Chains A and B, each alone.
Chain A
Amino acid sequence: MSELRFAQAINRALSESMTEDDTVMLMGEDIAEAGGPFGVTRGLLAKFGADRVRDTPISEMAMSNAAVGAALSGVKPVLEIMFMDFMTFAMDALVNQAAKARFMFGGQSSVPMVVRTPHGGGISAGPQHSQCLEAWFAHVPGLKVVCPSNPADAYGLLKAAIADPDPVVFVENKSLYALKGEVPETPFRIPIGQASVVRQGQDVTVVTYGGMVSRALQAAEMLAKEGVFIEVIDLRSIQPWDEATVLASLSKTHRLLIAHEAVEAFGVGAEIAARMSDVGFDELDAPIMRVAAPFVPVPFAPGLEKQYQPSADKIVEAVHRLMS
């Protein structure tokens, strides 16, 4: 075991993947010489050279489509989009090209590419640098979406994403970059689509992912003091998501809450709730609840953003309602 920060764990996954497979290459804004805005790609230019670690101009539309063209031509690009808000510029490449190529070309080829991008607020970055837009991508057949909550998962999921033959959107909650955690030294992959039960409990199932996992665990501590025990499921993968693990937990607790930092309306939680009210209807003792962001852009002022963000307190409150 070695202790790594979240950003370092991603760096290790990139570095190992590039060593194992010389068709893996990185591209993005300021990732090479500057080492990335969050320092994630530091040192990789020196290690792998400018052909495989490329600083791109600020041209998200061209670079994301270029990743598709490269992936169809024998290279495995790992693209960094500096903030998830800028993924709007990469929509054509991901939605119309990467997601469709395998299907519409009759399975001739897959599109082995990864797009890494940070989402999430809490640092007063304002409405255009804080959004959690993962549900958009989870809605598109052909894309996979993952969102790790800790350094070991970030490492293992990124190794799996780079090895995956299909396009993967790899979402990094920016509040986690400095988080430290143990990462086993032997290389490993975490299969995409596998959730992790991070805390056992019998009263309420709380399904969450990314930056919200630690808040759900805080809520679990607070609730445990009252004698209420929640089971916390870290989804890790959003598309595909681990329906079996969620259903198994619901069958035990009979109450379900989904928590995420993204806007509640039409979000990941809505999909899980709809699905569980179908396949898990007989298990439910209470309505399914969600704790997520309100239908408002992410505000700048620290006070406003604090009110905006879903918190451990809000999870506790929702669990109280579910138990009442």
Chain B
Amino acid sequence: MAKHAYNKPELLALYRKMVTIRLVELRLGRLFADGEVPGFIHLSIGQEAVATAVGLLLDNMDTVASTHRGHGHALAKGVGLDDFFYELMAKEEGICKGRGGSMHVANLSIGMLGANAIVGASTPIAMGSAMAHQIRKTGGVAVAFFGDGAMAEGVLHESLNMASLWKLPLLFVCENNGWAEFSPTHKQFVAKLADLSAAFNIPYAKVNGNDVLAVSDAARLALTDIRSGKGPYVLECTTHRWRGHYEGDPQKYRPTHELEQLGDHDPVKFFEDVMRKKGVSDEEMESVRVELESAIELSVERARAGTSPDWHSAQSDVYTAAEGGQHV
């Protein structure tokens, strides 16, 4: 299969999405520090290329199950800035009416099945969604994002097995940032994802997860195979977690030299260099950033002015109400 040749609108679309995620995460970091985002958040700064590349290859009918570090996945799948900020800032207008927050952003109408606070849970949920695609013959695929920390979860192994047994239209995307919460991956998982995939007879590819075009190329190949009925595929994207496990994590467990060198692995800078070589000017990129900055600020302002979630509405949404308001 010939390598995809990216035209300028495609490059700019990738850039726009990746910068959206970066700027949203940076803005959230500040809002959190200022006490405007309750709870705790896990930022995906440094990992934006993976969500961006995979997200832009998906249609609305395709489904995505994500992780606790899922802001990028949600934005890449198409969750809007207003829906997102209202939710993160705990407002009734949020996509989940302020009931889920950072770790549960979902938009089922566009196939975003939710971020998830349970490590590894995205894999069987996406697997079941892939089963639904297969039964309903939608032609869609499901994508399971997971981190290296999920590799030691038994349910991932079960899901690989079932996906392979049933030849499900399922793309497993591992964002391997080298850290499983507070521990280095090599102290958590003795095997390699490549070997695990091979054990379950699933094709596997490993890419530089900080190179958005490399991820896009690999994901495109994988999705073509999956859509043609060849069954699941595992894509391992090596990347870096710039921030702590959670925002505010002092990261005392992390070597200083590693923290100092994170800037060398910036997926946004890396792509800007690539785009310059492909004829996109600094001014064009700058104008994308400026436009996004102001769009994000507008969403933040709107969310600040949002309404507090309504207890009665929340309480009555535990079960589905039947016609006439009575519970079924």
> Residues of A with Cβ closer than 8 Å to B?
23, 25, 51-52, 54, 56-57, 59, 61-75, 77, 92-93, 96-97, 101-110, 141-142, 144, 164-166, 192-193, 240
Closest CB pairs A-B (n = 9): A69-B128, A66-B128, A65-B124, A106-B97, A62-B158, A73-B132, A69-B125, A59-B158, A106-B96
Given contacts A105-B108, A166-B319, 12 further A-B contacts (CB under 8 A): A52-B135, A62-B155, A62-B159, A65-B125, A65-B128, A68-B124, A69-B142, A73-B132, A74-B136, A102-B320, A106-B97, A108-B95
Query: In the complex, what residue of chain B is closest to A191 when comparing beta carbons?
Result: B328
Q: A104 touching B99 by the CB < 8 A rule?
A: yes
Q: Given A103-B314, A106-B94, A164-B328, does the pair A69, B114 have CB atoms closer than 8 Å? A: no
Task: Give Cα A103 to B328, complex, Å.
Answer: 16
Complex contact B99–A103 (CB within 8 A): yes
Closest to B156 in A: A62
Bound together, the chains give a CA A110 to CA B121 distance in angstroms of 18
Chain B residues near A105: list those with CB within 8 A.
96, 99-100, 104, 106, 108, 114
Question: With A67-B128, A92-B118, A92-B121 as given contacts, are A73 and B161 in contact (CB-CB < 8 Å)?
Answer: no
- On chain B, the residues within 8 Å of A52 by CB distance are 135
CB distance from B101 to the nearest CB of A (A): 9
Question: A23-B136, A70-B129, A103-B99 known; A57 and B318 CB under 8 Å?
Answer: no
CB neighbours (8 Å) of B161 from chain A are: 57, 59, 62
B264 an interface residue at 8 Å Cβ cutoff? no
Question: Is the CB of B150 closer than 8 A to any CB of chain A?
Answer: no
The reply to whether the CB of B162 lies closer than 8 angstroms to some CB of chain A is yes
Whether B318 lies near A103 (C-beta < 8 A) is yes
Residue B131 at the chain A interface, CB threshold 8 Å = yes
A residues less than 8 Å from B173 (CB atoms) = none
Which chain A residues lie closer than 8 Å to B128 at the CB level?
Answer: 65-71, 73, 77
- Taking CB atoms, residues of chain B closer than 8 Å to A97 are 116, 118, 121, 125
Minimum CB–CB distance from B112 to chain A (whole Å) comes to: 10
Check if B260 is an interface residue, CB within 8 A of chain A.
no
B135-166 CB mask vs A (1 if < 8 Å, else 0) is 11010001000000000001100110110011
**In-complex Cβ contact of B125 among A59, A66, A110, A144 (8 A):** A66
Partner of A62, one of B108, B136, B162, B327: B162
Given contacts A106-B95, A240-B327, contact A74 B320 (CB under 8 A): no
Assess whether B113 is in contact with A69, with CB atoms less than 8 Å apart.
Answer: yes
* B97 near A107: Cβ-Cβ < 8 Å: yes
Q: With A66-B124, A101-B114 as known contacts, state yes or no: A72 contacts B129, CB within 8 Å.
A: yes
Can you report 8 A-B residue pairs in the complex whose CB atoms are below 8 A from each other? A63-B124, A65-B124, A68-B124, A69-B63, A73-B142, A92-B155, A102-B319, A106-B96
CB–CB B155/A142 < 8 A: no
Q: Is B99 a contact partner of A106 (Cβ separation < 8 A)? A: yes
State A142–B318 Cα separation when bound (angstroms).
Answer: 5
Please indicate the chain A residues that have their CB under 8 angstroms from the CB of B155 in the complex. 61-62, 65, 92
Partner of A106, one of B100, B138, B154, B162: B100
B317 partner residues in chain A, CB cutoff 8 A: 102-103, 106-107
In the complex, the chain A residue whose C-beta lies closest to that of B125 is: A69
Distance in angstroms between the alpha carbons of A193 and B99 in the assembled complex: 27
In the complex the two chains form, what is the Cα distance from A74 to B138 in whole Å?
10
B218 CB within 8 Å of chain A: no
Q: B108 is contacted by which of A25, A63, A72, A93 (Cβ under 8 Å)?
A: A72
